[in-house]
Amino acid sequence: MSFKGKTALVTGSTSGIGLAVATRFASLGANVVLNGFGDAAEIEKIRAFLAATHGVEVTYDGADMSKPAEIAAMVEKAIARFGAVDILVNNAGIQFVSPVEDFPIEKWDAIIAINLSSSFHTIRAALPAMKARGAGTIINIASAHALIASPFKSAYVSAKHGVAGLTKTVALEVAEMGITCNAICPGYVLTPLVEKQIPDTAKARNMTEEEVIKKVILEAQPTKRFVKVEEVAGIAAFLASPDAASITGATISVDGGWSAR
């Protein structure tokens, strides 16, 4: 499998799943546009390492995924530099855990903006060039929570269900244009996002953090282990390959059997 000469834009790719996906595409020959927050020196270290290790061009764009104008500018710059965004991976996300009645309105708005609306804005910006070329791959990193719900995660679950709906709608609109749009739905992956929500979940459920990991997080996954970021990256690479040309509008579970319950 090779993506030499192609360009992948991966949002939220300075850590966790996004970084694993960006790394996988770089290792397969794709130029990569990184995006996300973090320490500038650390991000530059990641960018330079990927470029040098895999012999591809890697750039970084610090677009704030809650701001539509910055998102549009990021996609425009990527197309201007590389000629196309062949592979768009929407991965940026944040989380907050709280009962509905206590859920801060500003947290709801931020989660909907970054976890759902940002995918709409990137797709909206990238599609015209994909249509003009008659080719493109859109991959939305959703969640098991795009298919099922958990308490205390009203905004996250709502946003991820929205991502599943957006995926299906876009897939139908571009089905005859050589463009695919799919959603990967991981279960619990031990990323910074998950690590940060463990204390909040412990507080919301009146548990210790160890109890949350065993009785809430891994209890949900029949395999009783965290999904690996490399496993998600492998699915993303497959979805961008010719072998997946007839897979579109799909929500693909990578959740250790969680959604099979």
| Lookup: tokens for 31 | 């130029």
CATH T-level topology, domain 7-187+228-256: Rossmann fold (3.40.50)
**Distance between CA atoms of 153 and 137, rounded to whole angstroms?**
29
Output phi, psi for 213, to 5 deg.
-60, -45
How would you write the pLDDT of the chain (261 residues) with one tens digit per residue? Answer: 899 999 999 999 999 999 999 999 999 999 999 999 999 999 999 999 999 999 999 999 999 999 999 999 999 999 999 999 999 999 999 999 999 999 999 999 999 999 999 999 999 999 999 999 999 999 999 999 999 999 999 999 999 999 999 999 999 999 999 999 999 999 999 887 778 878 988 988 899 998 998 888 888 899 999 999 999 999 999 999 999 999 999 999 999 999 998
Cβ density class 207-222: b for 16+ within 10 Å, e for less: beeeebbeebbbebbe
Element containing residue 48 per DSSP (H, E): helix 40-54
Reading the block at residue 35, the tokens are 């995006």
User: Quick check: is 60 catalytic?
Assistant: no
What's the pTM?
Answer: 0.93
Gap between the Cα atoms of 187 and 189, Å rounded = 6
Of the listed 3, 82, 108, 156, which one is catalytic?
156
* Positive/negative CA dihedral, 53, 58, 59, 63: negative
Measured between alpha carbons, how far is 257 from 222 in angstroms, rounded to an integer?
A: 6
Domain ranges of the chain: 7-187+228-256
Distances (CA, A) of 65 to 62, 123, 194: 9, 13, 19
DSSP output for 163-202 = HHHHHHHHHHHTTTTTEEEEEEEE--B-SHHHHHHHHHHH
